[in-house]
Amino acid sequence: MLQDLDALSQRIQQIVQLAGDLQSERRALQARIRQLEQEYSGLKDQHQREQSEFTQMSERMARHEQELQAARDESLEARNSLQQQVHEQQARADSLQRRLEHVDAERGRLRQAAAGAQQQIELILERLPGAEN
């Protein structure tokens, strides 16, 4: 019977030892869980900050894209306007060139007519009585 009590005592000591080991392991696991929860919380906060930053960057990029498109549209509109002005000025220059050519031709005819009239006047003056010969 003493042997049974010794065996039981050893068995109880083993159980107490095992229970102590389990409690230590439980505390270690709980500490690890707390550490992992803190890491999770930190990572969650970091993810939220990064998500917020990503959203801000996306919005900023969308605004810049809109501004860029507006600048492109404005540039295209200005280019079209300038091209229209160039065409108008070219047409005006062509018209003025044709008028100048017409005026030059008319001036040439008038010079010829004036020269012919001058010759006729000189001939008439030469035929007048008392003209110097």
- The answer to whether residue 104 sits within a structural domain is no
The reply to whether 120 falls in a domain is no
Separation CA 38–CA 33 (nearest Å): 8
Q: For residue 123, tell me if it sits in a domain.
A: no
Number of domains in the chain: 1
pLDDT in tens, 41-52: 999 999 999 999
Residue 91 counted as domain residue = yes
CA distance 79 to 87: 12
Instruction: Please give the angle made by the CA atoms of 109, 115 and 119, to the nearest 5 degrees.
Output: 145
Per-residue pLDDT reduced to its tens digit, 53-87: 999 999 999 999 999 999 999 999 999 999 999 99
Boundaries of domain holding 18: 1-96
pTM of the model: 0.50
Q: Residue 32 domain-assigned? A: yes
| Structural domain includes residue 84 | yes
Tokens of 33: 């869980």
Count how many Cα atoms sit within 13 Å of the Cα of residue 16 in the half-sphere of its side chain: 6
Residue 119 carries which side chain, given as an amino acid letter?
Q
